[in-house]
């Protein structure tokens, strides 16, 4: 199986922690040049030093809450360095939870911008490099909610579904250029976001965090939360030459929790 990413360059978003960081580490191990992207320069520098492999690694400081500034920053980086990206990992932290009926309209607009609009800007900015090289992998880290909406995550359920359909449409359009577009759908994964979700649920209904955690685990056939590295493995496979004929699909990494195929 060809998993060799030597000579390939990956832009990994949200790569200072959790799944994004794990994906960056795995892609580097496979030989890719990894460019990290997030807001915190100090943490980005720290993560860069953790990356191994044979690639040359770098980072870009950018804020997903300002799409136009992010676009300018990325275009400037490409112009100055001459970097040609082959792999894009779209990964952004999810919005605050809560019932959809209570959501302010601004929450939808903000989340749509930080997820779908930013994803679209990144693809448009990197597309020419993928076309020129004849190798492109666009991998969107979203959620199993695109298959089965999750209770208490109304805004997230809505926008994640939009991103999934945007990705499928892109897959249909870009396949002719040797570019694949796929979605990785993490289930409950042992990250800071999961801890926050458990804490918020416990506080809202007046239960112990351990009880909320046990309820969540009981819905997972494998009986445990995912490790960020396990989600990263799926991302890395789709980014590799071995994943060349997989295009336009949703890949749940959820231990079997999602009840649909």
Least confident piece of the model among 96-105, 150-159, 197-206, 223-232: 197-206
Give the whole-angstrom CA distance, residue 16 versus residue 36: 8
b/e sequence 161-177, b meaning 16+ C-beta within 10 Å:
bbbbebbbebbeebeee
Q: Residues 140-149: pLDDT tens digits?
A: 999 999 999 9
Residue 1 lies in a domain: no
Domain containing 217 equals 191-225
Residue 4 lies in a domain: no
What is the pLDDT, as a whole number, of residue 52?
93
150 and 196 in one domain?
no
Residue 106 burial (CB count, 10 A)? 8
Q: Residues 250-260: pLDDT tens digits?
A: 999 999 999 99
200 and 178 in one domain?
no
56-76 mean pLDDT? 97
195 and 73 in one domain?
no
232-245 mean pLDDT? 98
221 and 119 in one domain?
no
Of the chain, the percentage scoring pLDDT greater than 70 comes to 100
55 and 152 in one domain?
yes
Residue 176 lies in a domain: yes
Residue 206 lies in a domain: yes
In CATH, what number is assigned to the domain containing residue 34?
Answer: 3.40.50.720
164 and 208 in one domain?
no
217 and 163 in one domain?
no
User: How many domains are there within the chain?
Assistant: 2
Asked if 242 and 182 touch (Cβ cutoff 8 Å), the reply is no
129 and 68 in one domain?
yes
46 and 65 in one domain?
yes
Question: Which carries the bigger pLDDT value, residue 67 or residue 96?
Answer: 67
196 and 72 in one domain?
no
220 and 123 in one domain?
no
β-strand 136-141 against 33-38: which pairing, if any?
Answer: unpaired
Q: Residues 194-237: pLDDT tens digits?
A: 888 888 888 888 889 889 899 999 999 999 999 999 999 999 99
152-169 mean pLDDT? 96
179 and 57 in one domain?
yes
Which residues fall within 8 angstroms of residue 111, CB to CB, at 6 or more apart?
A: 95, 155, 156, 159
């Amino acid at each position: 199986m060809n998993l060799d990413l030597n000579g390939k360059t990956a832009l990994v978003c949200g790569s200072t922690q959790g799944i994004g960081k794990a994906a960056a580490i795995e892609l580097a191990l496979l030989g890719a040049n990894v460019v990290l992207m997030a807001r915190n320069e100090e943490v980005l520098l720290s993560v860069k030093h953790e990356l191994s492999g044979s690639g040359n690694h770098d980072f870009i400081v950018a804020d997903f809450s300002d799409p136009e500034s992010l676009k300018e920053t990325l275009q400037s980086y490409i112009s100055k360095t001459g970097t040609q990206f082959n792999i894009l990992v779209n990964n952004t932290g999810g919005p605050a939870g809560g019932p959809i009926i209570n959501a302010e309209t601004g929450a939808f607009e903000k989340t749509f911008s930080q997820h779908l609009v930013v994803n679209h800007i990144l693809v448009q900015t990197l597309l020419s490099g993928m076309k020129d090289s004849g190798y492109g992998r666009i991998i969107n880290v979203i959620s199993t909610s695109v298959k089965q909406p999750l209770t208490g995550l109304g805004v997230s359920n809505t926008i994640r579904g939009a991103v999934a359909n945007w990705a499928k449409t892109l897959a249909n359009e870009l396949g002719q250029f040797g570019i694949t577009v796929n979605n990785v759908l993490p289930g409950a994964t042992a990250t800071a976001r999961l801890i926050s979700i458990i804490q918020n649920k416990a506080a809202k209904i007046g239960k112990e965090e351990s009880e909320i955690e046990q309820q969540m685990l009981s819905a997972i056939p494998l009986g445990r939360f995912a490790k960020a590295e396990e989600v990263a493995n799926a991302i890395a496979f789709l980014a590799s030459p071995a994943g060349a004929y997989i295009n336009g699909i949703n890949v749940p990494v959820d231990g079997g929790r999602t009840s649909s195929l």
